[in-house]
Amino acid sequence: MLGATALLAVLLAAAALWAQQRDASLHRQAAEQGLAQLRGLLLVLPVALVAAGFLGALIPEDRVVALVGGGSGLRGILIASLIGSILPGGPMVTFPIVVVLFDAGAGTPQMVALLTSWSVLALHRVLAFEIPLVGVAFSLRRLAASLLLPPIAGLLSAGLLLLF
């Protein structure tokens, strides 16, 4: 986590230098946009983290391990893929849930499949945005083309774990 923060700081410094060379007023615009986004996060993130804490206390660890634990294999990857596809909400909801599931004993390949499914399939976004905007035919083709991606990602991460 520290490495990711350091990388972001370096990228921020590079972007700030570039913006300074292009137009000094860009700094003010960037700061205003950043603060606007921060205000939204400051309202949502604490609630999401507390909700995830309650969820962690309510979820029985033995059920998590049985369904999506590291030893659940392909069955767990498929279950996690299904859960990810129906899990509503954005990253402020999903990532705390994944942390709770990890703490309860979920396996890495299963959580990779869950997050991939949430990112690629997300049925709530398909129903709310995709079908109304681009139509049923396109949405069904995209879903069909994407359906195997979460299990493949889970299986690939299981194989890659053997290398590390």
Q: Phi, psi at residue 135, to the nearest 5°?
A: 95, 160
pTM for the structure as a whole = 0.71
The pLDDT of residue 83 is: 92
Domain membership of residue 99 (yes or no) is yes
Radius of gyration of the chain (CA): 19
Confidence bin at 163 (pLDDT 50/70/90) = low
Domain membership of residue 151 (yes or no) is yes
The pLDDT of residue 3 is: 76
Domain count, the chain: 1
Domain membership of residue 74 (yes or no) is yes
Domain membership of residue 5 (yes or no) is no
Q: Phi, psi at residue 106, to the nearest 5°?
A: -65, 150
Tell me the per-residue pLDDT of 84-142, one tens digit each, with 9 for 90 and over. Answer: 999 888 887 888 888 888 888 999 999 999 999 999 999 989 999 999 999 999 999 99
Domain membership of residue 16 (yes or no) is no
Give the range of the structural domain holding residue 146, as residue numbers without chain letter. 27-163
Domain membership of residue 9 (yes or no) is no
Tell me the per-residue pLDDT of 18-56, one tens digit each, with 9 for 90 and over. Answer: 877 777 777 778 778 878 877 777 777 777 777 767 766
Q: Phi, psi at residue 24, to the nearest 5°?
A: -65, -25
